[in-house]
Amino acid sequence: MRVSSHRSGFGGDASERLPQRTVMIDPALFQRALAVADEPMDEKNLINTALRAFIARQAQLRLAEMGGIAPDLPDIPRRRQEPADPEDLEDLQA
The reported pLDDT for the residue numbered 32 is 94
Structural domain spans, the chain:
2-7+18-66
Q: Position 25: which residue type?
A: I
Query: What would the pLDDT profile of 53-66 be if each residue is shown by its tens digit?
Result: 999 999 999 888 87
pTM: 0.53
State how beta strands 2-5 and 21-24 pair: antiparallel
Q: Which of 4, 86, 58, 65 is nearest to 50 (CA)?
A: 58
Q: Is 89 helix (H, G, I), strand (E, B) or coil?
A: helix
